[in-house]
Structure 1
Amino acid sequence: MKKLIVALLASAAAISAAQAQTTTAPRAYVGVGIATADHEDSYSGLSSFNSDGYKASGKIYGGYEINPMWAVEAGYTDFRKSNFNYSSAATTINGDTKGYGYYLAAKASAPINDQFSVYGKLGVQHSQRELRSVAYNLKDDDTGAYGALGLQYNINQQVALTAEYERYGKSKDFGAKADVWTVGAHYAF
């Protein structure tokens, strides 16, 4: 993931001579991203609990810019499979968690200059986490609020790079946490 971030930043720096033009709305856009959420869990009463920490996963999204300030966006993030093991009494148990989240949100953008803008998103999300082991088989569905804050760099009129913090509902008891960091790129039509 660090290599991808460095590559995205290097690409942005190499193309910085190309100034972003004024966008013409309305228009649609699609994008992909790399999202990471903490998979670290700990439970009281269990000793030697070990689980994966932050894991990179994929995100796809698309939206429709109503005007340069307002847009509507939908997206899907796969939180990937994460392994864990723990000791309870004299037994060691292995298992895994997996999950996903999707959202529909309104997006408000404010330009900093011709190339950079900040944005916020507010909407509704649905996410699911599953925990599977020999001892447990749990499922947690959550439908609730979605929010995000981000920074966008416009390479040109069609291509932009983004970095954002997203919140998928309430805190989770297992699996990927609700706080997600994402870097991505999108193309506007």
Structure 2
Amino acid sequence: MKKLLVVLIASAAAMSAAQAQTTAPRAYVGAGIASADHDFKVSGTSNADTEGYKASGKLFGGYEFNQTWGVEAGYTDFRKSDVNYTIGGVNARGETDGHALYLAAKATMPVNEQFSVYGKLGAARTKSELETVNAVQNMSRSKTEAYGALGAEYKLNQNVSLIGEYERYGKSKDFGAKADVWTIGAKYAF
């Protein structure tokens, strides 16, 4: 909850800073392909074998108060991933699934007319689920944690841009997608 308050305060500060700027505010929406390594570190298990990096979808939208300050929200689906492991000498298998929602303040620094770099800081709500063949080991974990990202944007024209970013969704999880995510995508400003 404290992290969400920090995000709201940062957003309010960005709004007040935007009042002093002359650049017109703009909203934007976008979609991307997010890739996260899937992990499995549940106590009592060994010889875990996961599917590794998997591409998944990301949707996001935001509001740029000026060319420097903005706010962004998004949803990332981490897709299902199979896992094989050993517990008590017995081979077992399961499936992990997860997703994340985030809200973040965004600071952008233009390098030239077409290229800029940015950073985002906020809060993310992540959910990871594990379904096993024997339902005794099924788990579901949800947590609100810090969210951060570093990225670059290339403007194709006044409204369409390509983005590439590294995102961090809180701390590493015991199962499911790791906290480190690489994303490429496109956004449309209107």
Whether these two folds match at TM > 0.5 is yes
8 Å Cα contact 2:149-2:166 kept in structure 1: yes
Taking the TM superposition and a 5 Å limit, the aligned residue runs for 1:12-161 are: 25-42=24-41, 45-133=44-132, 134=134, 135-161=136-162
Per the alignment, in what secondary structure is the counterpart of residue 187 of structure 2? Answer: strand
Offset of 1:45 from its aligned partner?
4.9
8 Å Cα contact 1:40-1:54 kept in structure 2: no
TM-score w.r.t. length of structure 2: 0.83
Taking the TM superposition and a 5 Å limit, the aligned residue runs for 1:1-20 are: none
Q: 1:172 to 1:90 in 2, by over 3 A?
A: closer
Counterpart code for 1:103: Y
Per the alignment, in what secondary structure is the counterpart of residue 93 of structure 1? Answer: strand
Q: What corresponds to 2:187 in structure 1?
A: 186
Per the alignment, in what secondary structure is the counterpart of residue 171 of structure 1? Answer: coil
Per-residue deviation, residues 69-91 of structure 1 (Å, max 9, x unmatched): 11110000000000011123442
Counterpart code for 1:139: S
8 Å Cα contact 2:44-2:88 kept in structure 1: no
Contiguous gaps of at least 5 residues in structure 2: 1-22
Per-residue deviation, residues 94-151 of structure 1 (Å, max 9, x unmatched): 1100000010111000011111100000111100000110141111111021100000
Counterpart code for 1:32: A
Offset of 1:64 from its aligned partner?
0.6
Q: What corresponds to 1:15 in structure 2?
A: none
Counterpart code for 2:75: Y
Counting helix residues as a fraction of each chain, which structure ranks higher? 2
User: 1:63 and 1:180 mapped to 2: Cα distance?
Assistant: 19
Offset of 1:42 from its aligned partner?
4.2
Per-residue deviation, residues 5-35 of structure 1 (Å, max 9, x unmatched): xxxxxxxxxxxxxxxxxxx520110000000
Per the alignment, in what secondary structure is the counterpart of residue 37 of structure 1? Answer: strand
Structure 1 moving runs of 4+ over 4 Å:
42-45
Offset of 1:43 from its aligned partner?
5.0
Counterpart code for 1:150: G
Q: What is the RMSD of the two structures over their aligned residues, measured on CA atoms? A: 1.6
Offset of 1:46 from its aligned partner?
3.4
| Percent identity (aligned) | 61
User: 1:90 and 1:105 mapped to 2: Cα distance?
Assistant: 45
Q: What corresponds to 1:4 in structure 2?
A: none
Q: 1:36 to 1:66 in 2, by over 3 A?
A: same
8 Å Cα contact 1:154-1:160 kept in structure 2: yes
Contiguous gaps of at least 5 residues in structure 1: 1-23
User: 2:98 and 2:88 mapped to 1: Cα distance?
Assistant: 29
Counterpart code for 2:141: D
Per the alignment, in what secondary structure is the counterpart of residue 75 of structure 1? Answer: strand
Offset of 1:44 from its aligned partner?
6.2
TM-score w.r.t. length of structure 1: 0.84
User: 1:27 and 1:71 mapped to 2: Cα distance?
Assistant: 9
